[in-house]
């Protein structure tokens, strides 16, 4: 009877708990509020221009209750200047931001790791846009999105008008934490990319020559590639056990 009573009390406490929602006005407030987040909680960024903002997310949600980081209003939170998002942790959803009028001077614009050895696992980036967010040095190589870790999803996003060197989106296999990853890249719009005139103008690259015989297991499906003519490769597959299916290529050279 005592054990049953304890179980009833614990169930009542859990079922009565409610997910919390917070709104951050700036990076400093975001850094304070993110420490409170529990599985199922939401942290929104206030509408407006977030210039030179570096957002670091290392929270842990769960399959049933992911942590949600989003815009107060989808598309109304603008990241400009030297801004970026780094995602570590597990079961996190990031959604609703627009990158424009600037470029990331150090590392990818959206990076699925908090730091070396701290990749994201089972995280999702959705309903985002990076448009014309270019380093003015055309030969300076960078990437807009870099996937590390395992089981991450990049979907329903727009990446348009990348002009400088470097694949737009890369899947990295540089250590065992990032191999056999089974990422899903789906339902994205990859917009116009003009000729770069040299190697390094791919839209997607999965792996590198060094890891060309390493299993990635990445799925690339239901994406739309519009005038992606940065170089002769649109999707460069330099790893094993990947699936590419039902993608559309329109007016790509």
Residue 231 backbone phi and psi in degrees, to 5: -160, -170
Strand order across the 54-57 sheet: 54-57, 84-87, 110-111, 145-147, 169-171, 204-207, 235-238
107 Rama class: left (phi>0) / alpha (psi -120 to 50) / beta: left
Percent with pLDDT over 70 in the chain? 93
Residue with tokens 């030969």: 139
- Say which residue, 183 or 3, is predicted with more confidence: 183
- pLDDT of 248 strictly over 50: yes
- pLDDT of 2 strictly over 50: no
pLDDT digits (tens, 9 = 90+) for 30-82: 999 999 999 999 999 999 999 999 999 999 999 999 999 999 999 999 999 99
């Amino acid at each position: 009877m005592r054990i049953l009573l304890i179980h009833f009390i614990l169930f009542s406490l859990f079922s009565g708990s409610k997910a919390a929602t917070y709104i951050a006005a700036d990076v400093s407030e975001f850094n304070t509020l993110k420490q409170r987040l529990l599985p199922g909680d939401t942290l929104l960024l206030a509408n407006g221009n977030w210039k030179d903002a570096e957002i670091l997310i290392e929270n842990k949600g769960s399959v049933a209750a992911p942590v949600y980081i989003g815009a107060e209003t989808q598309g109304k939170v603008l990241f400009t200047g030297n801004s970026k998002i780094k995602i570590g942790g597990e079961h996190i959803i990031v959604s609703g931001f627009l990158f424009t009028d600037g470029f990331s001077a150090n590392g990818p614009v959206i990076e699925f790791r908090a730091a070396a050895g701290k990749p994201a696992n089972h995280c999702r980036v959705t309903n985002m846009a990076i448009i014309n967010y270019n380093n003015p040095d055309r030969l300076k190589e960078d990437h807009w999105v870099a996937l590390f870790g395992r089981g991450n999803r990049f979907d329903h996003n727009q990446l348009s008008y990348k002009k400088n060197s470097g694949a737009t989106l890369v899947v990295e296999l540089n250590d065992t934490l990032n191999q056999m990853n089974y990422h899903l890249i789906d339902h994205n719009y990859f917009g116009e990319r003009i000729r770069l005139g040299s190697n390094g103008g791919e839209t997607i690259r999965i792996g590198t020559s060094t890891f060309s015989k390493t299993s990635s297991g990445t799925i690339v499906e239901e994406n739309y590639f519009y005038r992606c003519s940065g170089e002769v490769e649109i999707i460069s597959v330099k790893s094993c056990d990947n699936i590419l299916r039902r993608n559309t290529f329109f007016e790509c050279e």
